[in-house]
Structure 1
Amino acid sequence: MHHELYDFPLWFFVLEGITLLALLLLTIVSFLLYFIEIQIIFAYRKTTFRGPFYRLMFVGIIVDMLSTINMFTGQVIPARRWFEPFLIYNQSWLGSIFFVITYGGRCIQGATAAILSFCRVCAVCFPIFYHKLGEPWYLHTMQAVQLAGGVIAFVILWPDSYEYILEDNCFYSVGSDDTDADWFYNFVAIMEVVLVLAIIVNNVVTYTMFRLKFNKKSAIKSNSITPSQHQSNQEKQKRENGLDKMTFIVCLVELIYFAFVVYSLQINQYMNKRIFYFLYNILCVIYSTFSAWMLLIISKPINSQVRQRFSNLGGKKLTRSISISVQGSRDNNKS
């Protein structure tokens, strides 16, 4: 264990504390929303949400939640040196958990974004094939690709030995044998480049074809369909447009995440760990929670179900308060 000290100004410590508190609050609220969305997707998995998009999102949500929990428990808590004797005594297996979930989760998150963008390409350009993606063989294949990086991370990173180093009065977990997993980190870097390129290409193709097909259909069918068909087409158009917006935002966040990784791990390889994790924690929480809000805002079925649940909850509270008031009036009359 070695010790390095960097002279941080006071405002950085204040900003760091406020940021971590804000990230924690955002995580708690987002997790509550995630739990509701998971229940909705699971409850209607055979009807409204039977398509591959929501099945893949379901797995992605679970991984996002695990990644955020891992960030707070595996990075923030050790950095603050809370439970220091426990951390030092169990530093090897705690490091294994932290790095497996960190890199495995990153692989799964990147693969999820790439596969979702591929699904959008199929939905716009190859609608017949897109319907086949919901069949068990195709769906299981996509989910196997989605989870493959996490499995590889577990097999390679878990057996390594880890220890905490002391830098700027914070504990940071590092591999004690850097040579064993070097090839895996290179694999992750290459995979990031491939996935980001695939996401960009898929989104460009989707957006271009979507606009071309929509303009063409509008020109041909504007005078040859009934009002009910026109309304149905508009609803379908809104749903597809919402999903395309969500995949575009996923692509944008993925690019920002990728730019940070390239800068911190390739361009500026000697970045101070406290500064690195300050920026990484912000990106990790944003990346792992924004899907909850995108589903709520963009997905009309999710939005309707969430509003209905809150409406039912409010109705139950109102009914309960009325019944309590009535019961209280009866008791007063009796007395």
Structure 2
Amino acid sequence: MDVDLFDFVLPPERIALRPAVPRDAARLLVLDGATTDDRIVADLPAALRAGDLLVFNDTRVIPAQLEGRRGDARIGATLHKREGPRRWRAFVRNGRRLRDGDLIDFGAGVSALAGNRGADGSWALTFAGDEPVELLLERAGRMPLPPYIAARRAADASDRADYQTMFAAEPGAVAAPTAALHFTPALMAALAAAGVGHATLTLHVGAGTFLPVKATDTADHQMHAEWGRIDAATADRLNAVRAAGGRVIAVGTTSLRLIESACDADGQVRPFEGDTAIFITPGYRFRGIDGLLTNFHLPRSTLFMLVSALMGLDRMQAAYAHAIQNDYRFYSYGDASLLLPGGQLNPGA
């Protein structure tokens, strides 16, 4: 498909630089396939129904942005994907100043050897020493805010908490699964009281999620790979919910992509552990999910293509136009949408 079909004009003032306070006060655009409803995230217990299951990504964002020097050259690195116990693939600013075997000093006793430059311009960084890399990053790294926020303000102490979901347990992401940022303990209690369950899986979000689609046709785009895991108990639970007539609602595109990667041809979720580079565009047949809660995405992005595959391109272009006209806040710290393609929103809501 022509990538231009997924373009739209977003006024810069619609980009959220801070999250809503409290988190569940963020606005929620509900699309049930036929209607458009303006709510807030705290309304979710009424917008869903007993027997539904929300699936969260329990990845934890690490302080994956580093600033260092190679001699007199300033080098910036954003870790992308772990390749070994001490080795990470990284996107490097000023990478033209690097050569294989160069040592980058990131300060605070943290250094890494650069090598194996990839076709996408990324470098492999092998960290020196014996300390766990996670401890090194806590000393020298900072939270990797998305580029559309980082271009307008620096990361600060509040981002350490703001850019982490309440489910964060498994360190390894370099970007947050931002749909889950809206959830609070009070909201989870209200959902449980309404008979809505929840489960977790793990997908370590990579910095490649922010890479622009440079191809003119979706068929020519190379999707980035990310590591994920669904254990057997979680797979069984997702299958049982649907067998009992409930709906599996992915919270975030990361959860959705991993569930779909783990599905067989009959729509059964299987245990999964490994890399996924699934690229979902219109025409894709969803097998493992019945709905999606997600934030508002960038024009021409793989994530806007994904939601267009779920709800239809015309439907999503109209929904985003509605969101822009009605002052919804976009991107990682912005508002959310609940997408129910089957039109099965709780009729009593």
TM-score by length of 2: 0.22
Question: Rg bigger for which structure?
Answer: 1
Bigger helix fraction: 1
Bigger strand fraction: 2
TM-score by length of 1: 0.23
